[in-house]
């Protein structure tokens, strides 16, 4: 790729006496390609444990790619991580020696290129191979580029065979390799949901997430917001009402929604539909006193305040001091004055606030995050069964603490963005055994229950808790339970 200055570096024969360092300073830095940005991001995720979404956002801001190239880089990052196990399975058939000992960037480059060959029909195979070889030459030596060229050429010749569905008798192995999930996780889900539903969950986790906005009802109607979003994109965006939440719009083709005027002026927020249901299940009324125990970055907090018509008090707590500012910034952007952001350990909130003093307490607990794999695919490879047990122990402690703050007749809502029964249904069952003063509350707002019933996402009779799976609405996997203190 040419440098920003094209072929002319700005030097001439008369400049020969300049120091080499000065000459180098005049040469514009070569702009990275989409594939190089993706490769850099993937290497940092693999080596440093960076979150893919945060690392990619930083890389895209630095690279200033065109919209089309930014889309390609995004596709390559998420697709390569999502399909990592299948890609390794196919590559290991072609790299006969030392596959597991490859230099990290070389392994990542092979994965990223294999993803293009095996999964992306719109990219010509020769383009994927040639770009990989160019990158290898820039980063390594001729031996590495030759090896990568040979492996990918062999893959290109064998594409028809390599794209055939895997025939594996063991359902754990078949699902695990086909959809690229670790065996331990597939086995757990088969035990909880059965083989067919587990396969649906895994397939849905590899789908790109759709974008959704939460309309601020204090500023405008959902219909008006829909019109504004469509007009802002010059008619290119597709905007439709959510089935799940009456405050949500599903938006595609609008680019960066955080860059829209409506977002900057507080007309809408970015939030997944499943996450929006949490505040709606809380059903806070104007004038109430509400506590959000683990509030950052403030999506559910601000939604609670909107539902309360910004009348009453919403205390938003988070353990990290720097996240207090994030909550305050969101409140300011949306024009909400009822929110008070505080910093503290959620496991010590009962010593900070008067017992039995809140009408509604929301505990959106730390969790394994397996409901948001399509947004953070590296979770599949970084979490373990031990992590689930560890986080469940913390959740138990936080639930006991949050319960102390609910007034008699008040509401405790427990939610997670995972689909692990150990962290969800089992957690609630154990809590009820310890706290006879609490009962599950099935009297959810009608507008919340209706779409869940229509989609058969909840069992009848309804118990007061729901496990949303990613394939049901195309949203994040989420668990929500509503309990009332007797």
For residues 369-389, give the mean pLDDT. Answer: 95
Angle at the Cα of 354 from the Cα atoms of 348 and 360, rounded to 5 degrees: 85
Cβ–Cβ < 8 Å for 219, 260? no
Q: Provide the token pair at 169.
A: 């008798």
48 versus 247: the higher-pLDDT residue is 247
Q: What is the mean pLDDT of the chain?
A: 92
Neighbours of 240 (CB within 10 A): 12
Pick left, alpha or beta for residue 10 (phi over 0 → left; psi -120 to 50 → alpha; otherwise beta). Answer: left
Full-model pTM: 0.90
Q: What residues form the annotated binding site?
A: 294-300, 318, 345, 364
- In this predicted structure, the answer to whether residue 25 has a pLDDT above a threshold of 60 is no
pLDDT at 28: 62
Which tokens is 210 given?
């759709």
pLDDT at 57 over 50: yes
Binding-site positions for S-adenosyl-L-methionine: 294-300, 318, 345, 364
Query: Residues 213, 216, 219, 224: what is their CA dihedral angle, to the nearest 10 degrees?
Result: 40
Least confident of 76-85, 152-161, 226-235, 409-418: 226-235
User: In this predicted structure, what is the pLDDT of residue 347?
Assistant: 95
| CB atoms inside a 10 Å sphere around CB 13 | 5
What domains are there in the chain, each with its CATH number?
30-162 (1.10.940.10), 171-204 (no CATH), 273-485 (3.40.50.150)
Active site residue 367: no
Whole-number pLDDT of residue 17: 39
**β strands within 299-357, DSSP E:** 313-318, 339-343
Q: Assess whether pLDDT exceeds 70 at residue 22.
A: no
* Residue 20 predicted with pLDDT over 50: no
The answer on pLDDT for 12 being more than 50 is no
| 203 vs 263: CA distance, rounded Å | 32
Identify the active-site residue in 202, 293, 367, 417: 417
List pLDDT tens digits, range 104-161: 999 999 999 999 999 999 999 999 999 999 999 999 877 899 999 999 999 999 999 9
Nearest to 485 by CA among 446, 435, 445: 435
> How far, in Å, CA of 117 to CA of 94, rounded?
14
d(CA 238, CA 260): 15
Each residue's pLDDT tens digit, 210-267: 899 999 999 999 999 999 999 887 778 899 999 999 999 999 988 889 989 999 999 9
């Amino acid at each position: 790729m040419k440098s920003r200055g094209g072929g002319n570096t700005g030097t001439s024969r008369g400049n020969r006496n300049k120091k080499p360092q000065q000459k180098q300073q005049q040469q514009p830095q070569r702009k990275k390609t989409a594939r190089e940005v993706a490769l850099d991001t993937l290497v940092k995720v693999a080596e440093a444990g960076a979150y893919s979404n945060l690392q990619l956002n930083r890389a895209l801001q630095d690279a200033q790619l065109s919209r089309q190239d930014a889309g390609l880089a995004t596709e390559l990052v998420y697709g390569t991580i999502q399909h990592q196990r299948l890609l390794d399975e196919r590559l290991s058939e072609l790299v006969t020696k030392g596959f597991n000992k490859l230099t990290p960037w070389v392994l990542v480059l092979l994965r990223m290129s294999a993803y293009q060959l095996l999964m992306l029909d719109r990219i010509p195979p020769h383009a994927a191979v040639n770009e990989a070889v160019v990158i290898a030459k820039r980063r390594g030596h001729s031996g590495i580029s030759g090896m990568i060229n040979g492996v990918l050429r062999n893959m290109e010749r064998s594409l028809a065979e390599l794209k055939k569905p895997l025939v594996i008798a063991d359902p754990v192995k078949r699902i695990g390799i086909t959809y690229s999930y670790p065996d331990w996780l597939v086995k757990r889900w088969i035990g909880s949901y059965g083989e067919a539903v587990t396969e649906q969950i895994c397939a849905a986790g590899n789908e790109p997430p759709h974008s959704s906005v939460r309309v601020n009802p204090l500023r405008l109607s959902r219909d008006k917001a829909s019109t504004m979003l469509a007009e802002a994109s010059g008619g290119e965006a597709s905007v439709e009402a959510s089935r799940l939440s009456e405050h949500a719009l599903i938006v595609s083709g609008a680019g960066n929604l955080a860059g829209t005027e409506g977002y900057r002026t507080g007309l809408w927020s970015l939030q997944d539909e499943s996450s929006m249901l949490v505040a709606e299940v809380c059903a806070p009324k104007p004038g109430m006193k509400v506590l959000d125990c683990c509030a950052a970055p403030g999506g559910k907090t601000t939604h609670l305040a909107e539902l309360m018509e910004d009348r009453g008090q919403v205390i938003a707590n988070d353990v990290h001091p720097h996240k207090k500012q994030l909550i305050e910034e969101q409140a300011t952007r949306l024009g909400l004055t009822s929110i008070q952001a505080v910093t503290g350990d959620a496991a010590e909130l009962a010593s900070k606030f008067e017992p039995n003093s809140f009408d509604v307490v929301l505990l959106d607990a730390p969790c394994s995050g397996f409901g948001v794999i399509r947004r953070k695919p590296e979770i599949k490879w970084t979490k373990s069964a031990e992590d689930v047990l560890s986080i469940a122990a913390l959740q138990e402690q936080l639930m006991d603490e949050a319960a102390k703050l609910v007034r008699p007749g008040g509401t405790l809502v427990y939610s997670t963005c995972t689909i692990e029964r150990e962290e969800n249904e089992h957690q609630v069952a154990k809590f009820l055994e310890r706290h006879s003063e609490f009962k599950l509350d099935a009297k959810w707002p009608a507008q919340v229950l209706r779409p869940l019933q229509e989609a058969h996402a909840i069992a009848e009779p309804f118990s007061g808790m729901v496990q949303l799976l990613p394939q049901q609405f195309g949203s994040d996997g989420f668990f929500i339970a509503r309990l009332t203190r007797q």
